[in-house]
Copies of this chain bind each other. A is one copy, B any other.
Amino acid sequence: MPPTPTRPPHYAELCGLLKEAATLGSIGSLLGWDQETYMPPAAAGHRAQQQALVAGLVHERQSSPRVGELLQACEADPALRQDPAAAANLREMRRDYDRATKVPTDLVAELARTGSLAQEAWKDARARNDFPAFAPWLTKMMTLSRRKADCLAPGSPEPYDALLDEYEPGMTAKEIAAVFAPLRDRLAQLIGRVRASGRTPDQSVLKIRTDPQQQHRFGELVLKAMGFDLSAGRLDVTTHPFCSGMAPGDTRLTTRYTGEGFLEPLYGTMHEGGHGLYEQGLPKADHFGEPLGEAISLGIHESQSRMWENFVGRGRAFWEWALPEARRLLGPALEPVTVDAVYAAANTVRPSFIRVESDESTYNLHIMLRFEIERALISGDLRADDLPGVWNERFESYLGLKVPDDRRGCLQDVHWSFGLVGYFPTYTLGNLYAAQLWEMINRQLPGLESDIRRGELIPLRDWLRANIHAHGKRYRAAELCQRVTGRPLSSDPLLRHLESRLAPVYGL
């Protein structure tokens, strides 16, 4: 669909209003990026006021009655309904408008206020390993989240779906559970076989110290090879890596060079680089502020980051190209390192109590545990007070480890304390989508492996751009998956991928 000139006036006005909201949103993103990168600490108080003001202006526009009127007029226009691009835009604009208007403002405010207090309570409780102190706050936040779900989808038999829909539009808990169940069981088996192998790969490569500035150059070199356009983006350093595709021509990544080793920082950079490529590949020049210029879902977004981090970055082919480059930039400490050593270190299974420290395989078990629990908290099948018992029991059954305390158990993540429910499963959905796409890509690009071995990563980026990025929100995730891979989402490709990765390391 070409931009404005040929658009009927009600559709053009609608797109214009939403573009203004998105422009304000892009300013909010810059405020957020600056806060994490360069803002002086004393500016924090005023920054909160700036953010609140911008968020209010965005919401005012997104939920304005005029948007509602125009949306109705467009939905009644047969020409627009028959144009697939416009129809996709309108489908998603309707979803956004309903989500922005169906929850009463006092409930939104109460969620924000209580979430902010609950987050403080969570911090204290975690520090003191005192779950009972946090339990009433968790109950409050789950009650409010359930009320929000009831506003969004009154009378739904699965209120959790309305919360999930915020991050993974159109996906349901039932569909997720159907894919997660076999994944969980076979992954638990796989990890059992790893444990039974008795092997512990040499991890010393993870501890090699190198200069952070040179690591930064190495990261930029890899980003360039991936086809990330550094004249339309940046790489900076923050406490927690992130990607902000804040505006047309402006996609900013961050990474960190803490602790020992050069591998984890590189994976941070490649992960955010994958997100960044998605943002740079979206057709924002023509469709900024419209769903056609936006990412499909967090799951699809995560599939892009995981593909570059895990499927490319932890592969042997990648290191055949990257290790000489790393040696050149990071210096003599890398001289004795071999591709085999990096491969083994990058594909080691390390069952851990802490999600963010876990490896590519066990990570998914952490996620599935959280999905099951948050679904039960929202349905009412699980009470907040009973959380630690359920958590510890399932954790042991999935990962074979006894949780020593709640700090290393159900108190470890911040998400629920401020009402982020339905977010966790998108991480593993990302892995699943990535694996299924990866099999199809390798079928369609039979030379990919040898391209990667020479550092030729652009064919992969171009495939992703043409098949995923360029569509914006034209298709929902499930439809895109079916169109691109010819099959609905399945756990088989991810299991095949993990098995083939771990086989040489553990002699499986």
Q: Give chain A's interface residues, CB within 8 Å of chain B.
A: 20, 23-24, 26-27, 30-31, 34, 37-47, 49-50, 53-54, 57, 229-234, 236, 247-252, 288
Contacts and interface: CB of A to CB of B under 8 A. Distances in A.
Contacts of A49: 23
A252 to B, nearest CB: 8
A48 to B, nearest CB: 11
B31 A27 contact: yes
Contact of A250 (B20, B42, B250): B42
Given A24-B53, A27-B54, A31-B30, A45 B249 contact: yes
Given A57-B57, A233-B40, A234-B40, A50 B23 contact: yes
Nearest to A284: B46
A43 B232 contact: yes
Contact of A248 (B23, B46, B233): B46
Nearest to A234: B40
Given A20-B53, A31-B27, A46 B247 contact: yes
Nearest to A280: B42
A375 to B, nearest CB: 40
Q: How many copies make up the complex?
A: 2
Given A43-B248, A232-B40, A50 B34 contact: no
A54 B37 CA distance: 22
Contacts of A236: 38
**What are the nearest 8 A-B pairs in CB distance?**
A42-B249, A42-B232, A43-B250, A43-B249, A46-B247, A46-B248, A41-B231, A40-B232
Given A27-B53, A46-B248, 18 more contacts: A23-B46, A26-B46, A30-B31, A38-B38, A38-B236, A40-B231, A40-B232, A40-B233, A40-B251, A41-B231, A42-B249, A44-B249, A45-B249, A46-B247, A46-B249, A46-B250, A46-B288, A57-B57
A39 B45 CA distance: 24
**Among A20, A30, A232, which residue has the most Cβ atoms of chain B within 10 A?**
A30
Contacts of A251: 40
Given A46-B288, A57-B57, A250 B26 contact: no
A31 B28 CA distance: 11
Contacts of A234: 38, 40
Contacts of A38: 37-38, 234, 236
23 contacts: A23-B46, A23-B50, A26-B46, A27-B27, A30-B30, A30-B31, A30-B50, A38-B38, A38-B234, A40-B233, A42-B229, A42-B231, A42-B232, A42-B249, A42-B250, A43-B249, A43-B250, A45-B249, A46-B247, A46-B249, A46-B250, A47-B250, A50-B247
Contacts of A231: 40-42
Contacts of A23: 46, 49-50, 53
A26 B40 contact: no
Nearest to A288: B46
Contacts of A41: 231-232
A233 B234 CA distance: 22
A393 B232 CA distance: 49
Nearest to A26: B50
Contacts of A233: 40
Given A23-B53, A24-B53, A50-B23, A247 B34 contact: no
Contacts of A54: 27
Contacts of A249: 40, 42-46
A59 to B, nearest CB: 15
**Among A31, A53, A250, which residue has the most Cβ atoms of chain B within 10 A?**
A250
A288 B43 CA distance: 13
A246 to B, nearest CB: 8
Contacts of A250: 39-40, 42-43, 46-47
Contacts of A27: 27, 31, 50, 53-54
Contacts of A247: 43, 46-47, 50
A234 B38 CA distance: 8
Contacts of A37: 38
Nearest to A249: B42
